[in-house]
A and B are shown apart, each in its own frame.
Chain A
Amino acid sequence: MTVSYEALDYRFTVRAPAGVAMAEVHELLAGFAVDADLAGLDEVELADPRFAPAAASALVGTINLRAIGCAAGSLLLHAGGAARDDGRVTILVGSSGSGKSTLTTELVLRGRHYLTDETLCLAADSLRITPFRKPVSLKPGSYPLFPQLRPSQGSLGALDSDRQWLVSPKSLEGGVADVPSLFVPGLLIFPTFEEGADTRAERLSPGQAAYQLGVNTSSLTSVSGRPLAVLASLARRVPAFRLIHNDLAAAADLIAELEQEAG
């Protein structure tokens, strides 16, 4: 049986080499799975892990690139996203190393719905968010924080563990029911990890937030309509904070407080 996947508007199947169980591929890509049989699917190939230790990372990277390529016109932020039950999304915007995957993981483990840990896709006109539920990429610095998420030895998610763990969204959410049907921006967080710093949040003006959104956008000029107006609209509507963090639990507690204040 062929399993269909959808990542943003990119629809695909996966071809795996002999010796790799499709069930294992499906476990890793569960966040992209769709029930329906889709037509016109692209095919992505998983390299043989015996000869390509980074095969799973390469597979996920290929899917990311093609999905982003299919989402031209949308606002694509370098961001993680975790939603509350009412569909309002806390958006964690930042470059690699800022802690967005770590914070997203912690928020989801605390009961939020996982949307993405890397690329957040917003419609340029309505700002509605389309989930991009790729496997979470946890870097070695986060391993001690989430020992329970360690992929089992020899699994696809553990193949590249010198560089990252790939964690299936299913492992984080534990079968969350009642997934919201509509996701909208609720809070903008720009995290910065600072060794030894007191965890704190600083309110950003809409102009500062729009600028930070812009520099963390993939191909700003390909956003439909007037890209700066889209950034301004998002920054005006949603409260934005710079989050300086050093302690994961304290940062997640602070985000929860900010979510409450944002309403």
Chain B
Amino acid sequence: MNSFPRVFADTQWTEIDGEVLILAGGRLFHLDSNGAEIWALVDGYSTVDQISEMLRTRYGDAAAADVRTLVSTLTDAGALTAEPESMCRIARYVAWTVDESRLVVLIDMRHGRRQVLSASASAVWLAIGAGTPAQKLAEQVSRHFAPVPPDLPEIIADLVQDLRVRGLLEPYAR
């Protein structure tokens, strides 16, 4: 369960008052509010184990077991795919460019906010924009650091998490 489940591109789904309806392979699935919470975490960036752990922390062991069952059922039905590497991408409502200092300048079109990323964050951003899987980001951007900090993977993970929380990155196929 170390794969990264994400929604298959052809899957149709809709949210209805905190619940989810999914159409995949001609079959229909209804997720109640508990299932919908799991669905929201199936973002191509977290492993099944990580999602299970998140739910176990909140609701206990039974919830963690539900994660495995649900992900397995929806993967078998073709609603989810299990990727060997995590993927996320730049959100569609973010416009960005690189300035003369090789720093990323971006505008969040939802509210017009502009910001300039640091040199290291810019390197991570460009790698994500080029489709680099999360596991390979550290390797990709390490050349921008001298010396390379030993906790670079953690630094990158925190940065990516921060960008995701702010809505600047989004999961694949969402």
Contact = CB atoms under 8 A, between A and B. Distances in A.
Contacts of A221: 23, 26
A211 B21 contact: yes
Contact of A211 (B13, B26, B28): B28
Contacts of A211: 21, 28-30
B17 A228 contact: no
B26 A206 contact: no
B20 interface: yes
B14 interface: yes
B12 interface: yes
B19 interface: yes
A185 to B, nearest CB: 16
Q: For the complex, would chain A's binding face be called helix, strand, loop or mixed by DSSP majority? A: helix
A210 interface: yes
Contacts of B30: 207-208, 210-211
Interface string A198-227: 000000011110110011000011000011
B158 interface: no
Contacts, number: 50
A232 interface: yes
Nearest to B31: A207
A236 interface: yes
A58 B14 CA distance: 39
Interface in B4-20: 12-14, 16-20
Contact of B14 (A208, A215, A229): A229
A211 B16 CA distance: 10
A231 interface: yes
Contact of A235 (B13, B16, B31): B16
B32 interface: yes
Contact residue range for chain B? 10 to 19
Given A207-B32, A210-B30, A211-B30, A228 B23 contact: yes
B21 A231 contact: yes
B18 to A, nearest CB: 8
Contacts of B17: 205-207, 236
Contacts of B18: 207
B19 A205 contact: yes
B12 A226 contact: yes
Q: For the complex, would chain B's binding face be called helix, strand, loop or mixed by DSSP majority? A: strand
Interface residues of A, number: 18
Contact of A227 (B12, B16, B20, B31): B12
Interface in A216-263: 220-221, 226-229, 231-232, 235-236
Contact of A207 (B20, B23, B26): B20
Interface-centre pick from B28, B29, B32 (highest chain A CB count, 10 A)? B28
Contacts of B26: 221
Given A215-B28, A221-B26, A207 B19 contact: yes
Nearest to B14: A228
Contacts of A207: 16-21, 30-32
B12 to A, nearest CB: 5
Contacts of A227: 12, 23
Contacts of A215: 28
Contacts of A228: 12-14, 21, 23
B7 to A, nearest CB: 13
9 nearest CB pairs, A to B: A207-B19, A211-B30, A228-B14, A214-B28, A207-B16, A232-B16, A206-B16, A206-B17, A232-B14
21 contacts: A205-B32, A206-B16, A207-B18, A207-B20, A207-B21, A210-B16, A210-B21, A210-B30, A211-B21, A211-B29, A214-B23, A215-B28, A220-B23, A227-B12, A228-B12, A228-B23, A229-B14, A231-B14, A231-B21, A232-B14, A232-B16
Given A206-B16, A220-B28, A232-B14, 13 more contacts: A205-B17, A206-B17, A207-B16, A210-B21, A210-B30, A211-B21, A211-B29, A215-B28, A228-B14, A228-B23, A231-B14, A232-B21, A236-B17
Interface of B: 12-14, 16-21, 23, 26, 28-32
